[in-house]
Structure 1
Amino acid sequence: MSAPPIRRVLVAVDASEPSGAAAEMAAEVAALLEVALAGLFVEDLKLLELAGRPLVRRYDPLSAASLSLERPVLERTLRAQAERARRQLAAAAGRAGAAWSFRSVRGAVEREILAAARPGDLVVVGRVGWARGSGAGLGRTVHALLHDSPEALLVLPPKPVPIGAVTVLCEEVEGSLALALAAALVAGRRWPLRVLLPSGPPTPAAAEERVTRELRARGLEAEVRQLPRAALSRELARSGGAHGLLVLRRDAIATPGELHALLEGCAGPVLLIA
């Protein structure tokens, strides 16, 4: 089990409260993996293009009037929002002890995140987008990243909570990035670790013993279980219903529909490995 080849944690931020919680978790993950944290603020080009149109209005809380939304006003608002997001990220990185950088760009949110992602990045996004709060289903950004995905994608619930425990699905014992990442995260916090192994070929019968031995060599203890493949989906859903972190390869789930259902049903974050 080699060290995980993650070189940076990239998180999109927008200065909202859920975005602040995401920045905190991204900073903690960056610190645990001993990599840099990069924040990205995207000025939504579609929103800017709407400014100045007669039917697009803004509410003035002082006069209670409905006013036209002029582009210069919106641009000033977005610059102020970007500065709040930068301070939000800096504070989170400072608390976690992570090196950080911040960049503001203009464009389509999904496209800019994909453009900013480098090889070796772990990308952090909200399941429904920070502004939508606790809505159901998967947001547009997650759909785009699942389709054209980075190497590692951390999908956070609408209201991110502390990790507390880690469950990892390990389909191959040799060179498992999912297991290496889970071990690296747990080593820094001593969270409880559960390792799920599919029983039967191609997973060898001795896999449980080997995983236990490799983890102990790193000073880690874990609950290691081998389950029939038919039972793994149920166990993953049960684990995701708790508030711990779930780590698995993206192709470990048979169909996109099943993966979407798993993400929608998880109370905690899910780390998907390409």
Structure 2
Amino acid sequence: MNRYSKLTTLLVVGCLLLATVGLAGAVTVTSEDVPDEAEVESEMSATVEIDDLYDDYDEWAVDGETELNNVTWTITYYDGDTQIDEHQIDGQEIRQDGIDRSLDEEPRQIEVSLTGEVPEVEQYSYEPRQEFTAMNLTQVRSDDGATEDIGSWSTHHYTANSSEARTAIDDASAAIDEARDSGADVDRAESDLQNAIDFYNDGNFESAISNAEQAQSEAEDAQSSAEQRDLLLYGGVGLVGLLLVAGLGFLLYKRQQGDDYDKLG
């Protein structure tokens, strides 16, 4: 192995070691309770529990961000089942320190909770569905400000009207899939479905619902026509088969009659 090959090998090994150290240094999210969806202007709560606090930094703070409105954070420190401390902070962006291995009562786990009001939807989107940041947590080292991402959680937010429109579109999409699988022509239904999705994305839920219902109706009609067509086709094939069998039977009967006549003669 020449000098350049040895250097390349050392660089590769060094990168692998650095990657391994980086993976081992992250804190562990042991529990998360974040709603998958929530209605606009309703109150929502979320909780995340974190362990392995000192695998990376001996002293650090937790940064929190959320798009909830009128939000209150609660940061609770534990050592096993024993609560050591608790802090409450208002605001969409917070920083809480006190995670320090040198403390007499060093926290071993922390629980980050928040409660706030679900924000308005700025831009509706059927797929992917519109979401907001419910909670974003970052680990910040105290001495130099170095950071590590802990995790980010999003929640789908909706209004009563947008939820009704989404359900109508979902129902229409399912009807179209079923009709397509039966061999029906669903081009018109798919066109109306796309219009419904476009209206949804524009926030025009009344038109979205109307077009989705039209798409579902057209898909169901197309499926019914396809099934009737298949029934007629199968019935026609069956009738032809029956006629063939009857004709064959008649020929055999006539042949048998002729044989009997010859024998009598």
Please indicate, yes or no, whether the TM-score normalized by the shorter chain is above 0.5: no
Structure having the higher strand fraction is 2
Q: Which has the higher contact order (CA 8 A, sep 6+)?
A: 1
User: Highest Rg: 1 or 2?
Assistant: 2
- TM-score scaled by structure 2? 0.25
- TM-score scaled by structure 1? 0.24
